[in-house]
Structure 1
């Protein structure tokens, strides 16, 4: 395996709208990110991934882009960005931008021109189609509820939107569109940004003829994702992107690839493929989805044996062929300590550390989402109107109001468990007004847990989750076996403990994580055959064969 800097790096994700507000308008900004560079550096991160900061009408919180070369006024100016980039680089931190090029905003110049008439030169930048039998051109569903088509009365045609109707899909089959994308990528790379996270990049190639999706009949709320993902020309387009742009810069790239399998991931990121460096896969994030046709909306608990199976498959099948990304949280996922852990006062810290340890010692580049390092939890707003996320609001309307599939109270439980807004409440800096996020009125309410869960208290407590993550990052930078070692699952049928080994030449680590609130006894072969050194434990002492509630530990040994 050829080694690259991004394999040894740790990425810290910043959702700028909710990170730090410096001008008291209730919205986080670039100056707020600048203010906390030392905090991120102290944690041991190497790269900051910024969610979209481009000019946008904010229908989908910046993922509907109106101008790729301008900064959203909510966040500041291009001078603010240039200053942030310069200061980050001075501190040895790299900046990764969010590249959103499957779709634009309907307020982008390209789309506003394209909808003027059928002969406009921008018309073919998007998917415009005639009605079929007086209805949508096909049966594709939007990922944000409803059809994936919106009728435009002016020209009598529909345009495709796999997400919001204000997010029309770009037509990547048009070579001019691809060149436009490559040009805007060069604009940012020439500024000195260090890479891209690519939003739903495996959706950019649509099936020729846009045929009906045979999966839609399975469920009234089925989206188009499986049918439109990994299209016939996606690898041609990514190879072209790599050849014309990415290969000319020493950057990190990670593609968001819903519905991708390990085989798909190897095609996108294989060491000899010349496309992307890694992908975000969603198989482990779908384990708690509804079995009743409601998609992500559920309160299901994940069986540990299922989690082991999925995580281990990605570890072993990509080993030596491609590179994994490691994540529990991001701006689209609920808080992991509430989802896979135990967010009670008694066990929140222990289970948050356990989950972090389990993930960070696997093979791949770890991603930490803002607030994960202090154990931020899901939020339980009482009223649907307190939620801001478009996906959440659309789902409530469709499932509760339109189709009456579940009661309002049941749907609110699902939202408490699964809404994207769980990740988007303001960063909890201290126990002061609005958790120290803003002196103004925050764009979304602060999680009421902030008096107990905040950065200030974490930094004062040497036993906090923050310092535990810091220690994990230090160990990653110290031991090659953590970065490059192969993976070996132990006891796949154990329903309480997740244990695995990593091996590199004569070095090994043993990782053990108790997923329960019970004390259990386990023994593993290295205890008996090697001189094992405990390098990390979320308890103060090591009781060897006894695992206390949510205990997690790592042993290092040489063979």
Structure 2
């Protein structure tokens, strides 16, 4: 295996709107990111991934792009971007941009032209179809609710949008569209950015003929029908040939619905397409059997199912591809609340436990802003406290229109799974507005910022921050952690996640107790050469205390 720089890296994801305000408008911006680079360097990460900063009407928080070569004025100017990139590189860090090219905004000039007629130069930049019996061309639903088609009188046709109506899907069958995308990528790479995270990139190739879904869900996109289309490999290979192969970059493809076998095809170590994928298997686990509800549920995930999902990817990609490792991102609730506990008694230990469990696996770890502090879900109780398009649309469709469950139940589910939990402003200190801004923030802070914030964490040597710092240092120092093979231990154990890593004659044993009870497990840890890291100050051997996690080295 030829080792690449991104296999040694740890990535920190920044949601710019919520990271740091510098110009007193309550919204995070690019100069605000520069202000916090010393903090990120102290944490020890290598790469920063920014959620979209392009000009946008913000129908979906920037994932609806109106101009790919202009910075959203709220975030700053292109000069601000250039200065930010210069400072990021001066700190020895790299920058990953969010590439959103399955769809654009309906305000993009391409779409504004395309919708006017069937014979202009952008007429085939999007996916247009005639009505069928006076209705939508097929029975697909959009990810955020409602039909995946919207009618435009000027053309007498419907356009496809797998997400919101303001996010029309590009027609990748058109070679001019693909060349336009390559030009966008070259624009940013020539500026010096170090790679891309590619939003829902496995949706760009649609199934031939756009057939009806066999059993359309009441809510949400039919992933198994629209994902991993017949020409996806061709498109990604062309992307690599025309653009990526000419730069030393890191590429991550977000691929909902993809299997490990799919991922190897797109990201195999010799595939000449992408470096790694974001898969969703572990974060999409939901015990709720009602498909009409989509992800909405508050039943705790079974540890046995979580282990099965993560272990499947670890074993399948070993030596063939490369994993991305994450608990949190801008589309997921806070991991400590969802997969462990945010009980103040155990929150710190639980957050450290989750970090250890993930960072000891093979792959590139991603840390989402505030994860290194153990930030938690917000305790919302009213609909008007939510901001996210997906959550609001879901409530109105599931409660008001379909009447599947009542509002109280849906609010309970949203309090567990809404994307809004990840989007509250970063908690820097216990001052007014958590040090994020000196005016009212664009979105309400989590009230627990007085107790959970970066200043408090840096002042406390036992904090989650320093545990993550050590996890990152261990990865940088150890080829065993980076490249070792993976062996799951006791898959049916519903309390402890245990696994081994092996590489060049050395072995790691990772033990994590996912419960608030003390349990006993003997994996011959008494014969270990060293205890590399633990979230307790001492070692009780075969005893695992509440949310205890420890890593042993055997030589």
Native 8 Å contact 1:151 1:159 kept in 2? yes
2:504 counterpart of 1:546: no
TM-score (structure 2 length as normaliser): 0.99
Cα deviations by residue, 1:131-154 (Å, 9 ceiling, x for unpaired): 111110011110000100011122
Secondary structure at the aligned position of 2:283 is classed as helix
Alpha-carbon distance in 1 for matches of 2:226, 2:463: 43
Alpha-carbon distance in 1 for matches of 2:507, 2:124: 55
Q: Does 164-173 or 374-383 show the bigger shift?
A: 374-383
Alpha-carbon distance in 2 for matches of 1:467, 1:526: 25
Q: Does 399-408 or 61-70 show the bigger shift?
A: 399-408
Native 8 Å contact 2:287 2:301 kept in 1? no
Matched residue, 1:63: 63
Cα deviations by residue, 1:112-163 (Å, 9 ceiling, x for unpaired): 0001112122010001111111110011110000100011122221110000
Q: How many residues align?
A: 554
Secondary structure at the aligned position of 1:202 is classed as helix
Matched residue, 1:335: 334
**Alpha-carbon distance, 1:382 to partner:** 2.5
Secondary structure at the aligned position of 1:458 is classed as helix
Alpha-carbon distance in 2 for matches of 1:229, 1:490: 32
**Alpha-carbon distance, 1:381 to partner:** 2.1
Native 8 Å contact 1:334 1:421 kept in 2? yes
Native 8 Å contact 2:298 2:413 kept in 1? yes
Secondary structure at the aligned position of 1:31 is classed as helix
**Alpha-carbon distance, 1:201 to partner:** 0.1
Matched residue, 1:89: 89
**Alpha-carbon distance, 1:230 to partner:** 0.1
Native 8 Å contact 2:66 2:104 kept in 1? yes
Alpha-carbon distance in 2 for matches of 1:497, 1:509: 16
Matched residue, 2:244: 246
2:543 counterpart of 1:534: no
Secondary structure at the aligned position of 1:449 is classed as helix
Native 8 Å contact 1:289 1:295 kept in 2? no
Native 8 Å contact 2:352 2:464 kept in 1? yes
Alignment of 1:447-526 (within 5 A): 447-526=446-525
Native 8 Å contact 1:143 1:225 kept in 2? no
Matched residue, 1:23: 23
Native 8 Å contact 2:381 2:415 kept in 1? no
**Alpha-carbon distance, 1:380 to partner:** 2.0
Matched residue, 1:121: 121
Native 8 Å contact 1:24 1:439 kept in 2? yes
Matched residue, 1:428: 427
Matched residue, 1:231: 229
Alignment of 1:10-159 (within 5 A): 10-159=10-159
Native 8 Å contact 1:433 1:439 kept in 2? yes
For the structure 1 residues 289 and 155, does the alpha-carbon distance in structure 2 shift closer, same or farther, using more than 3 Å as the test? farther
**Alpha-carbon distance, 1:78 to partner:** 0.5
**Alpha-carbon distance, 1:288 to partner:** 2.4
Alpha-carbon distance in 1 for matches of 2:398, 2:387: 17
Native 8 Å contact 1:297 1:415 kept in 2? yes
Unaligned 5+ runs, structure 2: none
Matched residue, 2:268: 270
**Alpha-carbon distance, 1:438 to partner:** 1.0
Alpha-carbon distance in 2 for matches of 1:527, 1:203: 49
Alpha-carbon distance in 2 for matches of 1:406, 1:173: 41
Alpha-carbon distance in 2 for matches of 1:225, 1:69: 30
**Alpha-carbon distance, 1:222 to partner:** 4.3
Q: Does 380-389 or 231-240 show the bigger shift?
A: 380-389
**Alpha-carbon distance, 1:493 to partner:** 1.2
Alpha-carbon distance in 2 for matches of 1:556, 1:84: 40
Alpha-carbon distance in 1 for matches of 2:148, 2:314: 34
Matched residue, 1:174: 174
Matched residue, 2:348: 349
**Alpha-carbon distance, 1:289 to partner:** 5.6
Matched residue, 1:185: 185
Native 8 Å contact 1:215 1:222 kept in 2? no
**Alpha-carbon distance, 1:224 to partner:** 2.4
Alpha-carbon distance in 1 for matches of 2:494, 2:62: 41
Q: Does 438-447 or 519-528 show the bigger shift?
A: 519-528
Q: Does 146-155 or 62-71 show the bigger shift?
A: 146-155
Cα deviations by residue, 1:262-319 (Å, 9 ceiling, x for unpaired): 0001011001111000000000011126321211100011111111111111001100
RMSD: 0.9
Native 8 Å contact 2:525 2:542 kept in 1? no
